[in-house]
Chain A
């Protein structure tokens, strides 16, 4: 029993040492704040030694996730209390950004990622296509009535 407890403790400590950075930002869900967010995230990414090209990729992906919240998550009724929460951390050599809202949510299976070549409706799904092609991973967790969490991942460059 005793040795089991110790090993759990060591696991936690190990995880803690792998978490280099963890911060959260809470902003109103309005377009003028997106530039502030991408500059902040770019600053953190540059501290982590990402190259300029990767930093630009991250800036666009984060902006697309915020755009998605601003354009779709909140209805006129709750517009005054609408917020976007970003959680930013590095763990196990991955830079992870989560973009969360408490809006109306949707069924992610009904949204298709697309580009203009295969979709005549311009712009539809383009933001999602950008997140997926510019990051190592991009996933959407949502259901109607339960808000949305978008998770973006990019491998941290090894020094």
Chain B
């Protein structure tokens, strides 16, 4: 079973959420809980490490978009680090990559 797991890594100015596995209808609830909490605290820049995400569908994209929209109200952005080409394709088809979600391949790209 591929499943899904997440791990939060707090740094001085950034909080990285290391994600692993598949983001679907089943696992997006867990992701939503974590993100909602981090967005509410609004302490650091939030980076989702997507390196080990092999699968994402509309429910996962919707969860990320919802939290990015909430961050926008706090003049912040949501960063997605190192998306695999497959995941990047889904963001492009959805048009969500233009919505306060910034795809980055290096931490230097964080504004």
Contacts and interface: CB of A to CB of B under 8 A. Distances in A.
Interface in B55-89: 55, 57-59, 61-62, 65-66, 69, 86
Interface residue range, chain A: 20 to 34
Secondary structure of the B side of the interface? helix
Interface residue range, chain B: 20 to 34
Interface stretch (A30-38, A80-88, A101-109, A136-144): A30-38
B93 A129 contact: yes
A71 B95 contact: no
A129 B86 contact: no
Contact of B96 (A116, A118, A127): A116
Contact of B25 (A71, A115, A116, A130): A71
B98 A34 contact: no
A35 B23 CA distance: 10
B58 A127 contact: yes
B94 interface: yes
Contacts of A127: 57-59
A51 interface: no
22 contacts: A31-B24, A31-B26, A34-B24, A35-B1, A35-B2, A39-B2, A56-B86, A59-B55, A60-B57, A63-B24, A64-B58, A115-B94, A115-B95, A115-B96, A116-B96, A118-B95, A123-B58, A123-B61, A126-B94, A130-B58, A130-B93, A134-B93
Interface of B: 1-3, 22, 24-26, 55, 57-59, 61-62, 65-66, 69, 86, 90, 93-96, 98-99
